[in-house]
Structure 1
Amino acid sequence: MSDTEIPILVKHGKNEHEVTVDVTAPVEILKAMLYSLTDVEPVNQKIICKGKTVKDDSDLSTFGLKAGAKVILMGTPSARALQAPKEKMKFVEDMSDAQLAKVEGATPSGLQNLGNTCYLNSTIQALRYIPELQVELKNHNASANPLDPFGAGGSAGSSSVLSILREPDLTGALRDLYKQMGSTTSDFSPYMFLEALRRTYPQFAQKGKDGRYSQQDAEECYSQIMHALRQKLKTKKNGQEVSFIEKYMTGRLSSSLACTEDAPDEMPIETTEDFVNLKCHITQQTNFLKDGILAGLSEKIEKHSPSLGRDAVYEKTSKITRLPKYLTCHFVRFFWRRDINKKTKIMRKVTFPFELDATEYCTDELRNKLIPVRDKLRDLHKDASDRERARKRMKMSTGGAPDDVAGGNAGSSGFGSGKQSETDLVAQDKKKQEEEAMAKYIEKVPVWADELKDKLNPEIMADEGCNPSGLYELFAVVTHQGAGADSGHYCAYVKKEGGDGKTWYYFNDDSVTEVDQQKIETLYGGGESHSALIVLYRALSLEQPAEDKATAA
């Protein structure tokens, strides 16, 4: 190796190539080497070095490269790079239904309505998109047969009377239902799970005067499924077996109950309690989700005062001391009207955000631990989003047609003239500067782990399954359509993974379609159309996007 030859690292997409180059040689030599490695033709290559685009008429010595320097290559491989697939190609028409269901981007299966069971279908679809839940359900070994409640360890000859008395395994039934749904693109009947639900919680087996099963409340169904999972579904936390729901979906409140009247001898009562959903209480003043949550964390209670010797008004104020990874918020839209002796619906419009900052519901102690992470993480996600948009603009720029075509371009000097006007030259120079600035921006990628390590609280990080930043992103909505609490229709909307991040699945029983994110903004309520009843949020990820992570490395 001569004195002018050095090894450099060339990054092309997710791949890296170590090459030895002569820094005094023309750039065409380097492009020819990269063509042999990446199949990107020299004419389509854009090489970025230290934030600047390398010109064909320059040599690498002008950039002051040193051994081990990183260079970015942008460009699409030519057609000759196409190779025979390692596995035999499978055509869609030749795939089985089970194979189609596992193809990335395949439309998920819907659920058949078995008679006023839309409340169940929407709940199941929303919970299906919690990946940790799917993993732990697969590890759940008990029997799911509602007619065989003894489970895997039950006796085959057990008394039929005892079989009737014992409860079925609702958790196992949910496991089997999700497994069957994941093996088909067609709609599926949730009959077995429905039978298990009705036997476990008989209120869902109620019938109307016409002998048909009655419509039920999706939030009550959601809560009962949570209750069953909390009892039966286990996972590991810090090496010990704990409830899955407690680890990932349960928060904790610190509450203080104090008398609002003059009772100096009574000290406030301090308590702690768990919650699996935050209530959004709706009044005439409620316009936003946060308003309803704050109202739910402060309530007035009338009870007997031992110091006053009579009933008095107490105020209960609560603050969050633990935020779960998955946060459920319930819009309390149904209530009992005593004057008409009927359950009615509040149809007021209440907006909810796609990104929720839950730090304002927390105790001062927890908030102070979360805010440094929240601020930095929010900046990192915004930076990653801006960088992704810059990449797309860069690709569009490099993929455009060249300025000079055969025969020359017609400029201000006429057809075939190679001359360019001063305005054209200024525009080209400005475009070049913008591209170089964009390339430099793309190249300088922060390492998220380094940016966050000094801000993450060790005590919170040791609590597996919690949210260390207080920031959440919306991923599922269960809605109710109609004016009555005991009628109407339930549906679910779930964010589609991958793609542009703005596409959602719309689950309407057995019908599954894709809708734009703007559709979610119509679910705030304000009439008899679909209004959100349950919204599910997940902790904003601490993981760096794959493309940024590869570049930062």
Structure 2
Amino acid sequence: MSSMDVDAAATAPIPVVIRHQGKKYDIDVDVSEPGSIFKYQVYSLTGVQPENQKILIKGKQVKDDTDLSTLGLKPAQAIMVLGQPGAAPTRLEAPAAKLKFLEDMSGADAAGGNLQVAPGGLVNLGNTCYLNASLQAMRSLPELQDSLVNRFEEDPAETSLMLARQLKKVFARMASSYDTYSPDGFLTTVRMLNPRFAERSRTGAGYAQQDAEEAWTFVMDNLRRNLLLKDVPAGAEGGSASNPSVSIVKRYLAGEMQKTLICDEVAGRTDAQAIPTTESFLALPCHINININHLRDGLLAGLTEKIDKTSEELGREASFTSTLKISRMPKYLTVNFVRFYWKRDIQKKAKIMRKVTFPHELDISEMCTDELRAKLVPVREKVREVRKEIEEIERTNKKRKRRLSEERKAEASGSGAGASRSDAKDDKKEDDKEKKTEGAEGEEVEYKTDAQIEAEKRESLEKAKEELYQLAKPRIDEDPYSNHTGLYELRAVVAHQGASANSGHYTAFVKKGTIVNPKTGKMSEEDGNWWWFNDDTVTEVGSERIDALAGGGESHSALILVYGSAPLPLPESRKSQKFFQS
């Protein structure tokens, strides 16, 4: 990628020594980044929250907006850090009493305040925020947790299962307690299996920061090859010992592409070039350049590519166009923002700062083959029709509740509630319009009660849901573990703060209502908000915080997006699967 494609440049890092409570930590400081990024690096090593740090360099205290290039840092310079390790004031502490899951508690328990709503965080073991963020995002994949915690048969003698065994321990521990957990065993295994994650800092002491996207890809690829379980058909309670083994990651997270590679020159084309080949993928790349402003644009850009290769027909090198079309959509779709590229002059991965927005609901049907799109579009349109009916019923119920509330207030306040009565009457007139039946002029007009109207709407809704099920059933029977509508809902985001993949700080955002207790199969409560996992600190944020992850600077920007298939609004009688319907 050329320099014109990026919005910021980077400079060579300076190795310095952090001193804190008698210990020394080697760290590479990128002086092109602000003080807030440096403080997060210090936090990764010392455990002292950025809010609690006091860092003095040549008499100047490092603040979030400090320009590090003005401090005159020298290689091997010692920097003293003051502050006690611990949580920031916003941290949600775990309760001292025995922990209970929300879904397992009685109403009395919840009302009595014996409730810790924040999931547990993960201890930063020294520049391991990249791995912690990835693990938290993986918790938004309920089938992955269920497979590891409930169905995975451990074999201590099988070395290929080392990573799966350690991840099972992580998920099982996080499912049984809201306390902060230290994933030492999992980290050790990752470094053992892939020496890249065991790299030391440039000064030789301490471990180097790594790329969260590379960690995610490594873990998923390992599980794809090794997490093989006996096949259990969708909706079934058990399986047979004769059932073939299936890869859980391949089943739920792998999609398929049809690829054609056609010569741009007519004389160099053959009939064979028009026949597509099939290849699988675990993630879709969102390419970023000066023309990309939205996720859709970046995804489409990644489906077409110009390639120079030798043409046998022409007897020379020629330009070919590679075109990809999705032929199978996975139930869970991973999207990687291609924000990092190798900058040769500084010998490290620099970050593309460009702002790229992304939706909470993603429709990728336009990126599919014509055959697949023909199957998806009718189901997608029916889903939208059913959603509209649901919204109408909810809107009517809210209006009715408001009217009744206003009427009660008017009765309670007596003659002084004229305005409230007027508002209530206006709402009632709107309802009356819905209640009138068509009749000839002069005939007596009949009215339907609220209960009759609501019953008719719900009957109509159930009928529409059943029609949706029948429409989707052929796709469900064909591939019950894929996406059947082309619609995805955002579940988790891994974000990066800073200007380089090997510095800065990684955190994860996971939508409430997507974390499943693998021991009970019950979903956490959803209210539209998100959990922000900043290592061992867990806070609740609104959906607008997710919109701010579009990037555009050194603040938190999305690196990995995890989308889940939008659930089909099916009739109650059809809801038989343990987790999400799709």
| Displacement of 1:312 | 2.1
Does residue 468 of structure 1 match 2:484? yes
1:337 shift after superposition: 2.8
User: For structure 1, which segment, 239-248 or 115-124, has the greater mean C-alpha deviation from structure 2 after superposition?
Assistant: 239-248
1:111 to 108, 117, 122: 122
The answer on whether the counterparts of 1:369 and 1:457 sit within 8 Å (CA) in structure 2 is: no
Secondary structure (helix, strand or coil) at the match of 2:415 reads coil
What RMSD over aligned residues (CA atoms) do the two structures have, in Å?
Answer: 3.2
Deviations 1:443-497 (A, max 9, x none): 3121254221442261553212101111111111111111112111111111101
CA shift digits 1:121-176 (9 cap, x unpaired): 11100111211111111234454xxxxxxx3357xxxxxxxxxxx55610111111
2:234 corresponds to 1:230: no
Question: Per the alignment, in what secondary structure is the counterpart of residue 394 of structure 1?
Answer: helix
CA distance, structure 1, for counterparts of residue 424 and residue 290 of structure 2: 62
Amino acid at match of 2:228: K
- Map of 1:270 onto structure 2: 276
Q: What is the deviation of 1:303?
A: 1.9
Partners of 2:411 and 2:269 lie apart in 1 by 92
User: What's the counterpart of residue 508 of structure 1?
Assistant: 534
Structure 1 residues 441 and 100: CA distance shift in structure 2, 3 A: closer
Give the letter for the 1:362 counterpart. Answer: C
Please point out which of 232, 245, 249 is paired with 1:245: 249
Q: Report the Cα distance in structure 1 between the residues aligned to 2:412 and 2:343, rounded to whole angstroms.
A: 80
Paired residue secondary structure (2:176) = coil
Structure 1 residue 184: Cα displacement? 1.9
- The equivalent residue for 1:532 is 558
Residue 387 of structure 1, CA deviation: 2.7
1:287/1:351 contact within 8 Å kept:
yes
Report the Cα offset of residue 406 of structure 1.
7.0
- Aligned counterparts of 2:470 and 2:547: Cα–Cα separation in 1: 37
Rounded Cα–Cα distance in structure 2 between residues aligned with 1:172 and 1:425? 62
- The offset of 1:218, in angstroms, is 0.6
Letter in 2 for 1:519: R
**Once the 2 structures are TM-superposed, how far is the Cα of residue 381 of structure 1 from its aligned partner?**
2.3
CA contact (8 A) 1:101 1:107 kept: no
Question: How many aligned residue pairs are there?
Answer: 433
Q: Percent identity?
A: 44
Change beyond 3 A, Cα 1:396–1:261: same
CA distance in 1, matches of 2:97, 2:297: 50
Supply the AA of the counterpart residue of 2:172.
K
- Structure 2 regions of 5+ residues with no counterpart? 1-93, 106-114, 234-242, 436-447, 514-523, 576-582
Secondary structure (helix, strand or coil) at the match of 1:455 reads helix
Which stretches in structure 1 are left out of the alignment for 5+ residues? 1-91, 144-150, 155-165, 413-419
**Alpha-carbon offset, residue 93 of structure 1:** 7.3
Point out which structure has higher relative CO (alpha carbons under 8 A, 6+ apart).
2
Q: Which amino acid aligns with 1:217?
A: D
Equivalent of residue 494 in structure 1, options 510, 531, 536: 510
Distance 1:425 1:479 in 2: 48
Instruction: Give deviations 1:225-256, integer Å, cap 9, x for gaps.
Output: 11111122234265543110111111000000
Cα distance between partner residues in 2 of 1:181 and 1:429: 51
Deviations 1:387-429 (A, max 9, x none): 33443443444455625657942478xxxxxxx9996895475
Map of 1:357 onto structure 2: 363
Partner residue in 2 for 1:300: 306
TM score, norm. by length of structure 1: 0.71
Question: d(CA) in 1 for partners of 2:316 and 2:347?
Answer: 30
Q: Which residue number corresponds to residue 318 of structure 2?
A: 312
1:418-437 to 2 correspondences below 5 Å: 427=426, 429-430=428-429, 433=432
How far apart in 1 are the matches of 2:377 and 2:104?
Answer: 40
Q: Which residue in the other structure is 1:366 paired with?
A: 372
Given that 1:140 and 1:175 are in contact with CA atoms closer than 8 Å, whether structure 2 keeps it comes out as no
Q: 2:201 aligns with which of 179, 186, 208?
A: 208
Task: Say if 2:263 and 2:269, in contact at 8 Å, map to a contact too.
Answer: no
User: CA offsets, 1:41-67, max 9 Å, x none?
Assistant: xxxxxxxxxxxxxxxxxxxxxxxxxxx
Task: State TM-score, norm by structure 2.
Answer: 0.68
